[in-house]
Amino acid sequence: MADLEGLLQRYRSLVPSVIESVLGGKRILVVTHIDADGLCSGSVVFSALMRKGANATLRTVPDLDPKTVTDLAAQNYDLYIFVDLASTLISEIEAALGGRYLVIDHHEISEADLGNRAVVNAWAFGCDGGKEACSSAMAYFFAVALDPANTDLSTLAVVGALADRQDSGPGRSLTGLNRVALEAAQRRGLLSVSNDLMFTGRETRPVHEAVALTSNPFLKGLTGSKDAVLALLHQSGLELKDGGAWRTISSLSDDEKRRLTETIAGALGAERGATEALASLFGEVYTLHFEDPFTPLRDAREFGTLLNSCGRMGVPSIGVSVCLGDRSSALKGAMKTLSEYRSGINKALDAVTSDPARIEQHGRLVLVKGEGVVDEKLLGPVISILTGSPAFKDKVVVGSASSRGDALKISSRVGDLYDGSVNLGLIMRESAEEAEGVGGGHAMAAGAKIPSSKAESFSRAVAARVGG
């Protein structure tokens, strides 16, 4: 059970010194991660500080390592706030910054670090930080503690949680502290919740495009194949146009929606896990009322994908600008990035799924060799999508891609239907250490970087830990 009161109390105990820094014109640096949850949470903390008149700067980093900590410390800010980062480097931060820092995070950390007053971590407040509290939700409660008027920032908490795939409650709902933030957004009339088909672009795209864009769940033969979906839907007799204009999924009647899912069920046929894949197409849909209906921002899941694309494609600042409210040039740039991101992912998926030598199955472990065909920036989303596919929903999927300096980037995910318990964060950390690399992350999603020469011993170490 989430201890919301405990969390708010902790923040309230920290707020006076933050306010003192703000009023004293002290230089504050907010450092956040480049994924969507990082962009949302960093923007929430930054907005809350700026609203108080702070002299604050927001910076994004792909990862925090000891060298980055030293470089940041050399810039001599008066206060550092790390968001969605840093949890494994608390002692380095303590050594470099003394009392001048705060860490707001949801990654699982050691008991000793949980006891540090400057570390506000979801796990210390009765929450599974991988499922019930993203960093954006943690940042949102910081913002509210700073000023109760900041409840408008709740929508970013919802976007961050969905982008981090924390919609793991019944019907793909948000739970825990994420839910508390969601309810605040509902109360302010910023967001509504409905139960519906959850195709990507359900409000904005022609029906066939929405089906082809949907990768969670991965619909074999349909995801990424607009033309194949169009041909299939023509056969089904669904009215795809209204006058000259394409219809969207949200404009279909209940009967038509049923026909659509039956048609997709027919196409997926006897594919293993197809029934579960279809069932997972229904669930909680989160609509942001103040966003333009014809942008990806309207649907909170798509908003999250847009931000992830900015982070992964090397333009996190565009994502931050969108989070901070830019709906002109930044949004245009983000939408272009999203389209490039999707086409990069589709090409990578095609390359790995069309070459049997690239996918090895060892019992419940699947190894995906993306070297040379999957850009390391896109490895995480590619492995997430494959893990959501009917064939691998009950597996642990570990992918690799070439990285700079003769290294391999590793991404790993656990399928929703995996029968057993596994902590990938731990598996990645231990296996990477044995292979002279570094690794870590959450129980259900984690990653690593290892020397290329250690690929085989790393795979063996992972296989031994995942087991039969």
Closer residue to ligand C5P (CB): 176 or 440: 440
Least distance (Å) from ligand C5P to the CB of residue 356? 23
Is 61 an interacting residue with respect to ligand C5P (CB under 6 A)? no
Least distance (Å) from ligand C5P to the CB of residue 414? 11
CB–CB of 138/177 below 8 Å?
yes
- Site residues for ligand C5P, 377-416, by CB under 6 A, read 380, 411
The type of residue at 135 is S
Is 442 an interacting residue with respect to ligand C5P (CB under 6 A)? yes
Least distance (Å) from ligand C5P to the CB of residue 7? 21
- Which stretches does DSSP call E strand in 391-431? 396-403, 407-414
Is 448 an interacting residue with respect to ligand C5P (CB under 6 A)? yes
Is 438 an interacting residue with respect to ligand C5P (CB under 6 A)? yes
Is 440 an interacting residue with respect to ligand C5P (CB under 6 A)? yes
Is 446 an interacting residue with respect to ligand C5P (CB under 6 A)? yes
CA–CA separation, 394 and 41 (whole Å):
31
Give Cα separations from 244 to 227, 252, 256 (angstroms): 19, 16, 19
> Given strand 27-33, what is the order of strands in its sheet?
55-61, 27-33, 79-83, 101-105, 119-121
Is 447 an interacting residue with respect to ligand C5P (CB under 6 A)? yes
Query: How big is the site for ligand C5P, counted in residues (CB under 6 A)?
Result: 12
CA–CA separation, 236 and 257 (whole Å):
12
Cis peptide before 451 (omega within 30 of 0): no
Is 435 an interacting residue with respect to ligand C5P (CB under 6 A)? no
Least distance (Å) from ligand C5P to the CB of residue 232? 32
The region of 256-264, 268-276, 338-346, 445-453 touching ligand C5P under the rule CB under 6 A is 445-453
One residue of 224, 273, 316, 439 binding ligand C5P per CB under 6 A: 439
CA–CA separation, 19 and 53 (whole Å):
10
Tell me whether residue 227 is exposed, middle or buried, using C-beta atoms within 10 angstroms of its C-beta: 0 to 12, 13 to 18, 19 or more.
exposed
Is 217 an interacting residue with respect to ligand C5P (CB under 6 A)? no
The region of 114-122, 198-206, 211-219, 432-440 touching ligand C5P under the rule CB under 6 A is 432-440
CA–CA separation, 212 and 402 (whole Å):
28
Which residues would be at the binding site for ligand C5P (CB under 6 A)? 380, 411, 438-442, 445-449
